[in-house]
Amino acid sequence: MPKRKPSRQMETFPNPKKVRDYEIEISYPEFTCVCPLTGQPDFATVRIQYVPDALCVELKSLRDYLWSYRNKGVFHEAVTNRIADDLIRLLQPRWLLVEAEFHTRGGLSTTVRVETAEPKA
């Protein structure tokens, strides 16, 4: 079996219950990127919640996508918005929330949340 590698390409599969609103919650406690100013590593837990429409994200490809930020110099706010933008473009979900909770470094911790409109009733 070939080894998986970091990748910016996420894959999808058809929503198995398109007629029903239901929420998918994904937690990735191993997210890492690099501070663009100091070069020091930043560690975070990324939580993704969404109500799918036609498509769902395939989890291994999502993990590889998140892994692709490991050596990228990027601000917390920018990376959280980029993840949300990429998922919105890919899935066109009925609702989406991306939350990145960055671990304390230098006495500060940061949580960034990006949310689309409220889920349909």
Residues serving a catalytic function are 35, 42
Q: Which of 99, 97, 102 is nearest to 32 (CA)?
A: 102
Cα–Cα distances (Å) from 33 to 13, 64, 68, 109, in that order, read 28, 13, 9, 15
State the Cα angle at 94 between 99 and 69, rounded to 5°.
35
Contact criterion met (CB below 8 Å) for 59 and 46: no
